Amino acid sequence: MLKKNWKTLIISALVILSLPVVFVVAVYSGVFGHLQTKKELQNFKNAAATSVLSSEGILIGNIFSENRTNISYGQIPANLINALIATEDSRFFEHKGIDSRSLLRVLFKTVILNDRSSGGGSTISQQLAKNMFGRKRTGRLTLLITKTKEAILAHRLEKSFSKEEILTLYLNTVSFGENIFGIGTASRRYFNTKVELLKPEESAVLVGMLKANTLYNPRLHPGNAVARRNVVLRQMVKYNYLKASQADSLCKLSLIQNFRDIESDGPADYFLIRVKNESEKILRSVQSVTGEKWNIEEDGLTITTTLNLILQKYALESFREHLSVMQKRLREQYQTPSGKKLIGQLVEQELKNLNLEKRAGEINLRQIFDWNGSHSDSVTVADSLKQALLILHAGLIAMDPQTGSVKAWVGGIDFKSQQYDQILARRQLASTFKPVLYAEAFEMGMQPCQYLDNDSVPPTGVDEWSPVNYDHINGGKYSLAGALVHSMNIPTYNLFLNVGFENCDTLWRKMGFSFALVNTPALALGTAEGSILETAVAYSAFANGGYRIEPQNIISIKSPDGEIIWQNQFNNQKEKVLTERSSLLISAILQKAVREGTGSSMGSEYGINLPIAGKTGTSQDFSDAWFTAFNPNLVIVTRVGASSRAIHFNNGSYGSGTTLALPLVALTLKKVQNNDTLSHQLISPFPDLPGDLQGALDCPDFKEKNIVNKFMDLFHNKKIYRDEGAKEVKHKKRGFFRRLFGR
Q: Are strands 625-631 and 613-618 parallel, antiparallel or unpaired?
A: antiparallel
Q: Where is pLDDT greater, at 219 or 741?
A: 219
**CA of 466: how far to CAs of 293, 310, 394, 518, 734, in Å?**
60, 46, 31, 17, 18
Model confidence at 706, pLDDT cuts 50, 70, 90, reads low
Q: Are strands 728-730 and 719-721 parallel, antiparallel or unpaired?
A: antiparallel
Domain spans, the chain: 393-553+562-702
Distance, CA of 575 to CA of 568 (rounded, Å): 19
pLDDT of 169: 85
**160-197 residue pLDDT tens:** 788 898 888 889 888 888 878 889 889 988 998 899 99
pLDDT of 721: 30
pLDDT of 267: 92
pLDDT of 724: 37
Element (H, E) at 395: strand 392-399
* 3-state secondary structure at position 732: coil
> Poorest-confidence range of 44-58, 455-469, 580-594?
455-469
**Mean of all residue pLDDT scores within the chain:** 85
pLDDT of 429: 97
Residue 154 has pLDDT above 80, yes or no: no
**CA of 532: how far to CAs of 11, 410, 416, 426, 654, in Å?**
84, 11, 21, 8, 21
Q: Where is pLDDT greater, at 189 or 581?
A: 581
Residue 3 has pLDDT above 80, yes or no: no
| Single-letter amino acid, residue 416 | K
| Residue range 376-380: mean pLDDT, rounded | 80
Model confidence at 624, pLDDT cuts 50, 70, 90, reads very high
**108-134 residue pLDDT tens:** 444 444 454 444 568 887 887 776 666
Q: Compute φ and ψ for 474, nearest 5 degrees.
A: -130, 180
Q: Are strands 59-63 and 363-368 parallel, antiparallel or unpaired?
A: unpaired
**CA of 581: how far to CAs of 208, 439, 697, in Å?**
70, 10, 13
Residue 65 has pLDDT above 90, yes or no: no
115: DSSP letter = -
Spatial CB neighbours of 528, under 8 Å, sequence gap ≥ 6: 428, 429, 433, 508, 513, 515, 517, 518
Tell me if 635 sits within 8 A of 571, measured CB to CB: no
Distance, CA of 173 to CA of 183 (rounded, Å): 8
**CA of 38: how far to CAs of 56, 97, 153, 157, 215, in Å?**
41, 14, 8, 7, 35
Tell me if 532 sits within 8 A of 638, measured CB to CB: yes
CB-count exposure of residue 631 (10 Å: 0-12, 13-18, 19+): buried
**Architecture (CATH level 2) of domain 393-553+562-702:** 3-Layer(aba) Sandwich (3.40)
pLDDT of 213: 87
* Buried/exposed 367-389: b ≥16 CB within 10 Å, e otherwise: ebbebeeeeeeebebbbbbbbbb
| Residue range 306-322: mean pLDDT, rounded | 98
Residue 505 has pLDDT above 70, yes or no: yes
Q: Are strands 477-479 and 406-410 parallel, antiparallel or unpaired?
A: unpaired
Element (H, E) at 150: helix 140-160
Q: Where is pLDDT greater, at 613 or 130?
A: 613
pLDDT of 368: 81
pLDDT of 417: 84
> Poorest-confidence range of 139-148, 280-289, 485-494, 520-529?
139-148
**335-362 residue pLDDT tens:** 999 999 999 999 999 888 888 888 888 8
pLDDT of 120: 54
| Residue range 19-31: mean pLDDT, rounded | 52
Model confidence at 378, pLDDT cuts 50, 70, 90, reads confident
Residue 367 has pLDDT above 80, yes or no: no
Helices and strands (H and E) in the chain: how many: 27, 23
pLDDT of 156: 74
Spatial CB neighbours of 692, under 8 Å, sequence gap ≥ 6: none
Spatial CB neighbours of 431, under 8 Å, sequence gap ≥ 6: 487, 525, 526, 598, 615, 616, 617, 618, 626, 657, 724
216: DSSP letter = T
Tell me if 620 sits within 8 A of 612, measured CB to CB: no
Tell me if 178 sits within 8 A of 57, measured CB to CB: no
> Poorest-confidence range of 544-558, 670-684, 728-742?
728-742
